Amino acid sequence: MKINSHYSALPAHYLFHDIDLRVQTYLTQHPGARLLRMGIGDVTRPLPRVIVDAMQRAAEELAHEETFRGYCPENGYEWLRQTIVDHFFLPRGIPFHPDEVFISEGAGSDLGNLSDLFDRENKVAIMDPTYPAYVDANIMAGREITLLPCLKENNFVPDLPAEPVDIIYLCFPNNPTGAVLTRDQLRLWVDYAHRNHSLIIFDAAYEAYISSPDIPHSIYEIEGAREVAIEVHSFSKSAGFTSVRCGYVVVPFETGLQPLWMRRQCTKYNGTAYVSQRAAEATFTPEGQKGIRDNLCYYKETASLILNGLREIGLEVYGGENAPYIWCRAPHGWNSWTFLPSGLYARSRFRPLWRRICPLLRLRQPSIRHRSSPPHPCLPRITSLTRSVSSAASSLSACYHPSSSSIVSDVIRRFSQKIPFSYFSVPKNLHISKKSCTFAADLFL
């Protein structure tokens, strides 16, 4: 047996798994520590009641002979595919046949699995930084990858590839920069794909966070996209389904790939859980939509709280408006490895930074020796800011490569003041280019 040698080109761990391992290690070493978990874009708000009721009903059906169900269709039940077409695409003037929609257990799997359809020889272009699954899946397949730098200079929107490429991964609103594309900007990519016979894989996982009217929610809002784009959606971030698991891919007939994807799914995927599909259906009911909107408002308020907090202390911050992500430049050229919040306490060379930031926050300088000293008089003001931050803090992330850095966890901790140490880490051996010098915090807090 020979293993797939391309795996040796991967970082030892998947980014989020690596962060999780580091968190576990930290917790073992510091039992009882309260952490703000910002390692992955997880959600924290409970599901709307109507969705839970739908799941309970679906589970109950499985307990009765007349309503019991076995394997679900590999591409999902038609009632869900039709509901998605009717409620998501048709109101945007985009007609699809339900057979162009494939229900799945989530966008993460789809984004990895789509790679099965393409020859190893294809040249792939991927935004840098972005969700790491695109790079990993293509490394596993042994493909040549061109990274498209997303920098402050280009507003974190990559330039069109200088050389022709066959497959382009676009993620907007972007994880982790929070950048979005206008219709005109997206049209440039669709035109590029037509000119170069390329395919765009458009990750729309965060479309529900878009509030500006000129930002498209789907690539199919652009004329001509049906021939050149596959779109991936997730109920995880729009409806809080990170544990329920459900997503979908749109593979238009015009791409010529619909039969191949159907074939692939029939062989390698045995369908999404019935209970999850009923839950997904319930998200489109009026109560479901209201519940989802309320949760999204909560996350967006938190994003703006942190965005403004970081700006107030003079940091260079982006995103957080049409996306739950904030991207922030680490000051003084520090990077993620050297700017660990816990290191801030321990290492004297970070003290000058503390001295600069703490007065701005009007907080006392933290000190290991005085951790249990009485609360600062400003604490009530901070606490009101913080309640929504600390009550459900979930994800530190931060960093997609070694020249990135985290200050967000530190700022949040200082907002909350009750947490003596937060933890932050970046994986080793990252493959994303060294050009961007920023870090991300996703704000499902």
Ligand X SMILES: Cc1ncc(COP(=O)(O)O)c(C=O)c1O
Structure tokens at 434: 């060294």
Q: Does 240 bind ligand X (CB under 6 A)?
A: no
Nearest of 280, 272, 289, 171 to residue 231 by alpha carbon? 171
User: Parallel, antiparallel, or unpaired for β 229-234 and 199-203?
Assistant: parallel
Q: Does 219 bind ligand X (CB under 6 A)?
A: no
Q: Does 76 bind ligand X (CB under 6 A)?
A: no
Whose tokens are 């593979």? That residue is 251
Q: Does 394 bind ligand X (CB under 6 A)?
A: no
Whose tokens are 């329920």? That residue is 244
Q: Does 366 bind ligand X (CB under 6 A)?
A: no
Q: Does 41 bind ligand X (CB under 6 A)?
A: yes
Q: Is the preceding omega at residue 402 within 30 degrees of 0, hence cis?
A: no
Distance CA 416, CA 310 (A): 14
Q: Does 106 bind ligand X (CB under 6 A)?
A: yes
Q: Does 171 bind ligand X (CB under 6 A)?
A: yes
Answer for the pair 170, 161: CB distance below 8 angstroms, yes or no.
no
- In the 3-class helix/strand/coil scheme, how is 164-216 assigned residue by residue? CCCEEEEECCCCCCCCCCCHHHHHHHHHHHHHHCCEEEEECCCHHHCCCCCCC
Which of 89, 131, 220, 248 is close enough to bind ligand X by CB under 6 A? 131
Q: Does 198 bind ligand X (CB under 6 A)?
A: no
Among the residue ranges 107-115, 117-125, 148-156, 215-223, the one whose residues contact ligand X (CB under 6 A): 107-115
Size of the site for ligand X (CB under 6 A): 14
* SS3 label, residue 101: strand
Distance CA 349, CA 143 (A): 43
- x/- track of binding to ligand X for residues 303-342 (CB under 6 A): ----------------------------------------
Q: Name the minimum Å distance from CB 130 to ligand X.
A: 7
Cβ closest to ligand X, residue 41 vs residue 427: 41
Q: Which residues of 75-97 are buried (b: 16+ CB within 10 A; e: fewer)?
A: bbbeebbebbbeebbeeeebebe
Which of 107, 167, 244, 430 is close enough to bind ligand X by CB under 6 A? 107
* SS3 label, residue 23: helix
Cβ closest to ligand X, residue 14 vs residue 253: 14
Q: Name the minimum Å distance from CB 30 to ligand X.
A: 26
Cβ closest to ligand X, residue 206 vs residue 415: 206
Instruction: List the alpha helices (DSSP H) in 247-406.
Output: 258-268, 274-282, 286-312, 341-346, 351-361, 379-391
Q: What does residue 149 show for φ and ψ, rounded to 5 degrees?
A: -65, 135
Cβ closest to ligand X, residue 247 vs residue 252: 247
Which of 108, 178, 240, 271 is close enough to bind ligand X by CB under 6 A? 108
* SS3 label, residue 61: helix
Q: Does 272 bind ligand X (CB under 6 A)?
A: no
Q: Name the minimum Å distance from CB 189 to ligand X.
A: 17
Structure tokens at 183: 């219709």
Cβ closest to ligand X, residue 81 vs residue 364: 81
Q: Does 242 bind ligand X (CB under 6 A)?
A: yes
Q: Name the minimum Å distance from CB 102 to ligand X.
A: 13
Cβ closest to ligand X, residue 234 vs residue 438: 234
Among the residue ranges 106-114, 263-271, 293-301, 312-320, the one whose residues contact ligand X (CB under 6 A): 106-114
Give the H/E segment covering residue 107: helix 107-113
Q: Does 236 bind ligand X (CB under 6 A)?
A: yes
Q: Does 423 bind ligand X (CB under 6 A)?
A: no
Answer for the pair 229, 200: CB distance below 8 angstroms, yes or no.
yes
Q: What does residue 431 show for φ and ψ, rounded to 5 degrees?
A: -100, -5
Q: Does 200 bind ligand X (CB under 6 A)?
A: no
Which of 234, 404, 416, 438 is close enough to bind ligand X by CB under 6 A? 234
Q: Name the minimum Å distance from CB 269 to ligand X.
A: 14
Residues that bind ligand X (CB under 6 A): 41, 106-108, 111, 131, 171, 175, 203, 205, 234, 236, 242, 247
